Amino acid sequence: MKDTAKHQGLRNQLVTVLQQKGITDKNVLEAIKKIPRHLFLNSSFEDYAYQDKAFPIGAGQTISQPYTVAFQSQLLEVEKDHKILEIGTGSGYQTAVLCTMGAKVYSVERQNELFKTTSLLLPKLGIRPKHLSFGDGYKGLPNYAPFDSIIVTAGAPIIPKPLMAQLKVGGRLVIPLGEEHQIMTMLIRKNETQFEKHEFGEFRFVPLLENKN
């Protein structure tokens, strides 16, 4: 598991690309500059790890393109010690970005294969989320609620009600909404019953899987 000066140079180039695409949050950019994305990918993709592209990671899932990770992270307006619920741990790259930004991350993954891989990988890289869970993201993590913000890393046809219930007043929920193409959507909880909705254009994600049992 090597991280070389060449990899760092490629990360610096990637950060420049993200800035050109409109990412301005310095904490997001610093995290992406630090994290060895190539170690979250199958070694056959290593040479392409710092291109702004998504790649398959197994179990029918993908690692999102860096712009998408940066865009969602920027929408969250992460502050140190923010308690964040992540739905869809996947490769763990988004988890790593949020942890590196100083958040306390609670993450749920539906695919056991990915859950096992990521649970081993993150500690090796010195990244320690508060809690990694294997389970149904639609249900969130009620035992650890409420959260300062919630990020969903897979496309969902609707906003799961349990996630809305687990968000603090003033908190942000960022979710790609839609079937084949998704609209990046952010809800801000104004009070116990009211949410303010913002939309940020089209993205493509793999679907969020719900446990039908």
What CATH number corresponds to the domain at position 133? 3.40.50.150
| CA torsion through residues 15, 16, 17, 19, sign | positive
129-183 pLDDT per residue, tens: 999 999 999 999 999 999 999 999 999 999 999 999 999 999 999 999 998 789 9
Q: How many domains does the chain have?
A: 1
Q: How far is CA 199 from CA 174, 176, 204, in A?
A: 10, 9, 14
72 falls within a domain: yes
41 falls within a domain: no
Residues 6+ apart with CB under 8 A from 113: 58, 59
59: left (phi over 0), alpha (psi -120 to 50) or beta: left
Q: Confidence band (pLDDT; 50, 70, 90) for 210?
A: low
198 falls within a domain: yes
199 falls within a domain: yes
Three-state SS at 193: coil
Cα(155)–Cα(176) distance, rounded to whole angstroms?
5
87 falls within a domain: yes
151 falls within a domain: yes
Active site residue 44: no
Give the residue among 151, 153, 84, 89 at the shortest CA–CA distance from 121. Answer: 89
The pTM is what? 0.95
Residue range of the domain that includes 77? 59-203
55-107 pLDDT per residue, tens: 999 888 899 999 999 999 999 999 999 999 999 999 999 999 999 999 999 99
74 falls within a domain: yes
The single residue listed with the structure tokens 């990521």 is 118
Phi and psi angles of residue 37, each rounded to the nearest 5 degrees, phi first: -55, -30
Which pLDDT score is estimated for 110? Answer: 95
Amino acid at 63: I
Catalytic site residue from 43, 44, 64, 119:
64
Which pLDDT score is estimated for 212? Answer: 46
Q: How far is CA 114 from CA 131, 200, 212, in A?
A: 15, 29, 20
170 falls within a domain: yes
Cα(42)–Cα(15) distance, rounded to whole angstroms?
22
